[in-house]
Structure 1
């Protein structure tokens, strides 16, 4: 548990592109292995990785940045299992709202969320966080901050907004500076 996020629990498999990491993760919980769990995670993750690749290709092709596809596809992939108490949509009690993960924007290029009828997602509209009602059995795909703007997209009309950064450095900064309103801007804003 993270002290400043009491309603958030998360486990993750680092570098999902390395197939051995699923077994390494499983062996933490099941020292003698759990092939059924590993096969299930790999099957689910492989489908998500295909969707991730397809969407990244579509985005970069649409921006005319085909030459950057391989460098984006070779990036680190984190597979996270998250449990948190949702917002007022779930508990229907305006006086007893849970922050779950707290107000934030994602720092990776794409995030895929399977809500699992938790409905904890909120969207920031003009500075106000509003509950998002998601259809059952659907994925939400979010585009985050994690992209270094290619030089061909930066000019006087479209200036660079963030300095290049390492993802681990951003995570370390966020962990050591809880409560920062905009971690991304504080860490690497221009």
Structure 2
């Protein structure tokens, strides 16, 4: 995932280049290996001369679909983090049943009790130390990627409309967090 500050400056540079030399100057960027998928798609639409309204509709649909997929993955991880401790408790019950079933053999009580305690520990550990943080990270990355993708979309729309890059900067500043806002033309 690209850095939001770098992307905002890069999109503005693309818009300035397209305004000076025309949108076809962006065509070599489509084949660049470092280009993000949505960025390549945005450039492709602009270079092909698609109307700005259609560019916005297509890219917005792609952004929303990607966010939905990512949010679904995060929801699965979040639910698994909630269920993991319960699975540990089920393991504890199994261990207790095993322990109570072998009360006549004192040497079996210790290992069965260990299994009971370990399953609770592992359930809590997996849920709270692995799955919940992964879900949170996926949610944060999804939000950051949505900003990056929105910046590419705004740039493509602006280029398709042949707008002044100053207007694009103002539009991007509505999406950017205050600490990352551009002041290129101030």
Q: TM-score range by the shorter chain?
A: under 0.3
Q: Name the structure where strand makes up a greater proportion of residues.
A: 1
Higher relative contact order (CA 8 A, sep 6+): 2
Q: Name the structure where helix makes up a greater proportion of residues.
A: 2
Structure of larger gyration radius: 2
TM-score calculated relative to the size of structure 2:
0.25
